[in-house]
Amino acid sequence: MNFHQMTMVQLAEQLRNKSVSSVELTQYFLDRMAQFDGQINSYITQTPDLALAQAAVADARRAAGEDGLLLGMPLAHKDIFCTKDVITTCASKMLANFKAPYNATVVEKLNAAGMVTLGKVNMDEFAMGSTTENSAFGVTRNPWSLDAVPGGSSGGSAAALAAGLAPVATGTDTGGSIRQPAAFCGVTGIKPTYGSVSRYGMIAYASSLDQGGPMAKTAEDCAHLLSAMAGFDERDSTCAEGARPDYVAGLNDSVKGLRIGLPKEYFGEGLSAEVKAATMAVAAELEKQGAVLVEVSLPNTSAAMPAYYVIAPAEASSNLSRYDGVRFGHRCDNPKDLKDMYTRSRSEGFGAEVKRRIMVGAYVLSAGYYDAYYLKAQRVRRLIKQDFVNAFDQCDVILGPVAPTPAWKLGEKTADPTAMYLADIYTIPVNLAGLPAIALPAGFSGGLPVGVQLIGNYFSEPKLLNVAHQYQQATQHHIQMPAAFA
């Protein structure tokens, strides 16, 4: 059986009807990881012993009569989620030996559902980046073209999925870090409404923007995984209270009458012709199914990138002040005094992009600049949110590209951080507004996948998953695999 070509829902059926045990399925993916991961470096840590032990427990639970869609299902965790039994590096030298004293809430919930941890996957250091090149553990390569980036920061998650080295994975999205790698690697991923998924044990980058979410082959798989990940958590002070919506129940609803907004600012200068064509083809397919297309405007779109690169580094400089060499993480050798210990531990432990963002953050928060940069960016942030609020008066969901182009070559943008930042223009506004958005495969350009995103109103994940699922029922892009890994 080619289990790596199956969706999670299909694999769950195999487990349920006892065609395969969790131990066998886990071993199948562990074997593929051993065979293929050398080519793409998607895993920082592989955990075969833990995985097989968890799988055996899952098989015993099933034998005892328990049933559950996620019971015994292997997955990969982005190495930003704290795991008590496995090192959590956040792709940083700072945390190269960090064994968290506790599990992230997301990990606890997925463990409780009986999921099996195959390992921890690569990312940009502290989730700061769009290519996974900012990892202290080497770059991850795009399975569709080994000299292209997989996107980032959840590039390891996306690459592992595309290469069939995990059926599903967790990711996090602060400025596009689930959606953009999903688009670059031809997989599906949803960034939920801010506060839907607990941030407890998810190593902080920019706390008012960070949000965890599922990545998988299909929207349907994402719906099932999100159902297990989301929920109120007392231990996350910004977690949304109350029950979460049912992410699965409406998947098969018709899109007839659905109003799809096309924001004119997302189709202007800078967008490649192929990505534009793929996005319009998605619109045409949904229109064929009965949806109605309407033009909307998000006039402050171009201000989102600068606002984000003020707010996110400001929060990062504050969050990353905890890495001081005192309580955990890297400490330099032979510090001559306390200040030397702080400075050298941090300078040795952090990579260039992380240091850059800490310094930008320190600058925009410093006396004399706080109002002009930080408060100003927070005011612009409200304008960006208001743009979406206004647009959702005219439409139910918004459709647009994820990134202006398909994946670029490794090393192509590393010398120029500002060029890299510009590639985030379509994903960042969603994080600033705190809205949910799903990225899904929409075709290919020059052999590389192209993704589109559907953006919804607050807590409208069921609608986004429904529309994406309806699109995937009628199309084949999401089930393609790169030939070298098929």
In the set 240, 286, 391, 450, which binds another protein (CB under 8 A)?
Answer: 240
Catalytic site residue 463?
no
168: which 2 tokens?
């599903």
Give residues 127-166 in contact with another protein (rule: CB under 8 A).
none
How far apart are CB 3 and another protein at their closest, in Å? 37
Contact map string, positions 372 to 391, toward another protein, x by CB under 8 A: xx-xxxxxxxxx-x------
Which ranges of 350-427 would DSSP assign to H, the alpha helix?
Answer: 352-365, 376-391, 417-422
Task: Report the helix count and the strand count for the chain, using DSSP H and E.
Answer: 15, 11
| CB of 2 or CB of 241, closer to another protein | 241
Show contacts with another protein in window 427-446 (CB under 8 A): 432-435
Sheet (strand 212-216) strand order:
43-46, 116-121, 74-78, 168-172, 212-216, 188-191, 437-445, 448-456, 397-401, 259-263, 292-296
Q: Which residue has the tokens 């001559």?
A: 336
Minimum CB distance to another protein smaller for 61 or for 385? 385
In whole angstroms, the minimum distance from the beta carbon of 356 to another protein comes to 6
From candidates 43, 137, 194, 205, binder to another protein by CB under 8 A? 194
443 DSSP β-pair partners: 450
Give the residue, chosen from 99, 256, 264, 322, that forms a contact with another protein under the rule CB under 8 A.
Answer: 99
- From 83, 227, 317, 427, residue interacting with another protein (rule: CB under 8 A): 317
Q: Is 344 in the site for another protein (CB under 8 A)?
A: yes
Candidate list 213, 361, 429, 449; residue touching another protein; CB under 8 A? 361
What tokens appear for 431 in the block? 């994080």
Task: Give min distance, CB of 328 to another protein, in A.
Answer: 5
* Nearest CB to another protein, comparing residues 251 and 364: 364
Nearest C-alpha neighbor of 165 from the set 132, 127, 133, 119? 119
Based on CB atoms, which residue is closest to another protein, 269 or 337?
A: 337
Beta strand pairing call for 188-191 and 116-121: unpaired
- 112 forms part of the interface with another protein (CB under 8 A): no
* Residue 254 is among the residues annotated as catalytic for this protein: no
CA distance 425 to 377: 15
Three-class SS state of 440: strand
User: Which residue, 22 or 130, is less far from another protein as judged by CB?
Assistant: 130
* The one among 65, 101, 242, 257 contacting another protein by CB under 8 A: 101
Considering the candidates 177, 227, 317, 345, report the single residue annotated as catalytic.
177
> Is-contact 397 460, C-beta < 8 A?
yes
When binding is defined by CB under 8 A, the residue of 350, 392, 471, 485 that contacts another protein is 350
| 3 state SS of 43 | strand
Residue 262 burial by Cβ neighbours in a 10 Å radius (0-12, 13-18, 19+): middle
Smallest distance from another protein to CB 106, Å: 20
Q: Report if residue 231 touches another protein, rule: CB under 8 A.
A: no
Cα 79–Cα 105–Cα 235 angle in degrees, nearest 5: 125
276-315 binders of another protein (CB under 8 A): 300, 302-303, 305-307, 309-310
Q: In terms of CB distance, is 168 or 239 closer to another protein?
A: 239
22 as an active site residue: the answer is no
Stretch that binds another protein, among 118-126, 176-184, 347-355, 440-448 (CB under 8 A): 347-355
* Residue closer to another protein (CB basis): 57 or 96: 96
- Residues 6+ away with beta carbon under 8 Å from 302: 265, 425
H or E element: which one contains 216?
strand 212-216
- Tell me which residues are annotated as active site: 78, 153, 177
